[in-house]
């Protein structure tokens, strides 16, 4: 058919007739996945991977699949029919040991990227972390820009830096669109002073994930944080390149939070 659409050159396929894209979310039973799902349901069918915490609150067009991303074969079984991946699964404790991050964050991240590549999935959104740059925070060397040299503050941050580097390789070597988001603190509302700087509201999370899924950018690293007056992270490239326009500001809750004396 020489690549022509089924309706012929004068009768393009109606967008309403196209199948709803299937999105795989790894680590979907975690706090970020739980907050994200309502914002993606309108535009996607969701395949929700979990390892040990079952998902029982499924809505229409959601399916839950138990799998361990540390197992490449099991991860490959998640991919049939998938159009894009949001990779949230992993060890998320900032002070985790090397043994704790090596399986889920090193092997698991490779397995997700590689399984996606083998299945012909062209888009992966990778959940990175501010801890990739945590030593700048320790030294109060603010603001922090995504293009600065990495300075992880532990094995967890280093494992996520590995994920960003691996994403860059998959973008360059295989032409995949690999978007890395250094996700802030996803909460309904901040409850301490650190949260006033790091907060990412659920609806701002949903916005930046959707934009990351829709962009044609081959590779990028972006801070995912709400429009917080006290934020130390630069989100300008996310605004410029993705069109991110965060709606919330943690300052709305500042009066409720006792000051600790820290900047």
pLDDT in tens, 239-251: 999 999 999 999 9
Query: Half-sphere exposure (CA, 13 Å, Cβ side) for 262?
Result: 14
- Beta carbons of 51 and 89 less than 8 angstroms apart: yes
Is 169 within a domain?
Answer: yes
User: What pLDDT, on a 0 to 100 scale, did the predictor assign at position 231?
Assistant: 95
User: What pLDDT, on a 0 to 100 scale, did the predictor assign at position 92?
Assistant: 95
From start to end of the chain, where are the E strands? Answer: 22-26, 45-50, 62-66, 84-87, 123-129, 177-183, 185-186, 199-200, 219-224
The pTM of the full predicted model, rounded to 2 decimals, is: 0.91
Is 118 within a domain?
Answer: yes
Q: Which residue has the higher pLDDT, 198 or 7?
A: 198
pLDDT in tens, 141-192: 999 999 999 999 999 999 999 999 999 999 999 999 999 999 999 999 999 9
- Beta carbons of 212 and 125 less than 8 angstroms apart: yes
Is 169 noted as a catalytic residue in this protein? no
> How many structural domains are present in the chain?
1
User: What pLDDT, on a 0 to 100 scale, did the predictor assign at position 14?
Assistant: 54
User: What pLDDT, on a 0 to 100 scale, did the predictor assign at position 260?
Assistant: 55
Q: Of the residues 155, 156, 222, 223, which is catalytic?
A: 156
Instruction: Say which range, 8-12, 116-120, 162-166, 200-204, has the weakest mean pLDDT.
Output: 8-12
Is 233 within a domain?
Answer: yes
Is 5 within a domain?
Answer: no
Q: Which residues pair with 124 in a beta bridge?
A: 85, 178
- The residue range of the domain holding 146 is 18-256
Is 158 within a domain?
Answer: yes
Assign residue 78 the CATH number of its domain: 3.40.50.720
């Amino acid at each position: 058919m020489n690549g022509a659409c089924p309706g012929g050159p004068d009768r393009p396929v109606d967008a309403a007739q196209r199948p709803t894209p299937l999105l795989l979310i790894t680590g979907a039973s975690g706090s970020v996945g739980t907050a994200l799902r309502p914002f993606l349901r309108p535009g996607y069918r969701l395949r929700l991977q979990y390892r040990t915490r079952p998902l029982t609150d499924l809505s229409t067009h959601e399916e839950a699949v138990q799998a361990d991303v540390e197992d490449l074969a099991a991860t490959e079984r998640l991919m049939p029919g998938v159009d894009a991946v949001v990779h949230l699964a992993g060890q998320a404790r900032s002070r985790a040991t090397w043994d704790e991050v090596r399986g889920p964050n090193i092997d698991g991240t490779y397995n997700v990227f590689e399984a996606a590549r083998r299945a012909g999935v062209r888009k992966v959104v990778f959940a990175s972390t501010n801890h990739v740059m945590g030593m700048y925070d320790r030294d109060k060397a603010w603001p922090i820009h995504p293009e600065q040299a990495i300075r992880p503050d532990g094995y967890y941050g280093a494992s996520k830096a590995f994920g960003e580097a691996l994403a860059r390789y998959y973008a360059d070597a295989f032409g995949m669109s690999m978007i890395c988001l250094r996700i802030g603190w996803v909460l309904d509302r901040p409850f301490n002073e650190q949260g006033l700087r790091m907060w990412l509201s659920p609806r701002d999370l949903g916005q930046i994930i959707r934009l990351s899924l829709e962009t044609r950018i081959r590779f990028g690293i972006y801070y995912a944080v709400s429009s917080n007056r006290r934020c130390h992270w630069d989100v300008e490239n996310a605004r410029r390149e993705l069109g991110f326009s965060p709606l919330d500001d943690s300052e709305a809750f500042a009066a409720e939070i006792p000051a600790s004396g820290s900047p």
